Amino acid sequence: MAGPKTPQSLLVRVINRAGAPFKSRISLDPDDLMQRARALTHLDDFGEPGFEVALGVLVESYLREARLNFMGRVLTQKSLLHCLTTRLQIEEYFRRNPQTANVPVPDPIIIAGAPRTGTTMLHGMLGADPANRTLKVWELFAPVPPGFTPCAPSDPRPEAVAQVMARYESRFMSAEGRRQVNAAHMTRPNDPQECFPLLQNSFASEVFGLFARADQYVRWLLEQDLTPAFRYHRRQIQLLTAAQPAARLVLKHPAHLSHLEEIFRVYPRARVIQTHRDPAEVIGSMCSLCDTARGLHTDFVDRNHIGATVCDVLSISMERGMQARKKLDPDRFLDIHYRDLTANPMNALRTIYSWLGIPMTPELERTFAGYLDRDRQERANHRHSYDLERYGLNAADVRSRYPEYIAQYLPDTSNRAGG
């Protein structure tokens, strides 16, 4: 990818050209990566086995399909190494602080709508309530405290993660890339974040397929029983909540929709809020985000392939979610429509709190109102525009792929003919 619209900075484009003959030297071999992680941390225990299989499938998929450029390969190696070193640090933390294994995890409230259906907006809204414990960007990417000590006088992790994020944006991304990412999914160190990093540490996250083409891995992952990955997910939440417990835990990740049965095996008393939106709007926004993310790692972004793949994955996710809900207690689920959420967010919050059996006090209403006012001002500066045709799609064809889902959750949408 080249030209003024690339998400890559000029520095990255220069490095990619110069480094092209040497990119195969950037090892993605799983055994090599694990050995490097041991050397970096001087630790040896990766915890419960099984993640090695997923790591192997992911790397094989990247090598066959991703066509990573030089910096794409460097960044991918760093990402995989980060997951491996985090696993080593997590196990060392539990070794030094064995009482953490007894930390109770609150029954989670899980936001699990399809991507681009208002899940981020709702997550931020619920996170404004001080009684709701959300997981912040910085703690998800640096879950283990320095020195493996549960409590420290000052924690350098928030600032350290903020610096890493700022360096990444300024060095690796063009102005256009920063604009695209911030419009699609702005992420700051202290914001509530999706819990996908906890699954990435088991190499069990569809998000790996967002940043680079990995169809083989994504298809394989959708066929797996992820109960072990969610057990490890819970283990990490024990670590994260040990120092900051809360009455309620609010988690969010769109891909959870594909794995509801596994989630309820590990969190049997979870409550799930599923958000809904016209698939034609969901798909366009998802494609745009994937386009930008992949453009940072490869010079060969196939937009028609992105369109087809996003449609396929969303179809599987919706189908699995609907099938799982037929087996699970319907009282554990609440449906929120994107149009209702965006038109009257305060009313959506009242509905959610009534469902949870939590009083909506005047003080809490004022807290939410202040958050919503700030959020509206911020969103006004970051408009996300996208075009289905850019990805070889049109609205009518997209909607035709999800007849069951639309009939069940969005009956008004079925009357739309197109755009």
Q: Count of CB atoms within 10 A of residue 98's CB? A: 9
In this structure, what token pair is assigned to residue 22?
A: 């040497």
58 in any annotated domain: no
How far does CA 270 lie from the centroid of its chain?
A: 19
- Has residue 283 been placed in a domain? yes
- At residue 331, what is the residue type? D
- For the chain, give the number of residues: 419
pLDDT of residue 160: 92
Q: Which two tokens stand for residue 31?
A: 């055994």
pTM of the model: 0.92
Residues 6+ apart with CB under 8 A from 99: none
Please say whether the beta carbons of 126 and 352 come within 8 A: yes
Question: For residues 226 and 56, what is the distance between their CA atoms, to the nearest angstrom?
Answer: 16
What is the model's pLDDT at position 116?
81
Question: Which pLDDT belongs to residue 2?
Answer: 37
Domain for residue 28, yes or no? no
Tokens matching residue 257: 């929709």
- Considering only the C-alpha atoms of the chain, give the largest distance between any 2 of them, rounded to a whole number of Å: 63
Domain carrying residue 232: 107-411
Q: What is the mean pLDDT of each run of 10 residues along the chain (419 residues)?
A: 67 95 96 98 96 98 97 97 98 96 94 88 93 94 90 83 90 83 70 94 95 95 96 96 86 94 97 95 89 93 95 93 96 96 94 96 94 80 75 94 93 56
Residue 416 lies in a domain: no
Token pair in block for residue 34:
């694990």
Instruction: Please report whether residue 218 resides in a domain.
Output: yes
For residues 366-375, one letter each, b for 16 or more C-beta atoms within 10 angstroms of the residue's C-beta and e for the rest, the string is: eebeebbeee
243-293 tens-digit pLDDT: 787 789 999 999 999 999 999 999 999 999 999 999 998 998 889 889 999
In tens, the pLDDT along 334-390 reads: 999 999 999 999 999 999 999 999 999 999 999 999 999 888 877 666 566 678 999
Q: Are 75 and 297 in contact (CB under 8 A)?
A: yes
In angstroms, how far is the first alpha carbon of the chain from the final one? 29
Within 13 A of 225's CA, how many CA atoms are on the CB side? 5
pLDDT of residue 5: 72
* CATH number of the domain within which 146 lies: 3.40.50.300
Structural domain total, the chain: 1
For 228-251, what is each residue's pLDDT tens digit?
A: 999 999 999 999 998 787 789 999
**Position 112: which residue type?**
A
Q: Would 258 be classed as within a structural domain?
A: yes
148 residue type, one letter: F
- In a domain? residue 275: yes
Residue 81 lies in a domain: no
- φ/ψ of 16, rounded to 5, equals -65, -40
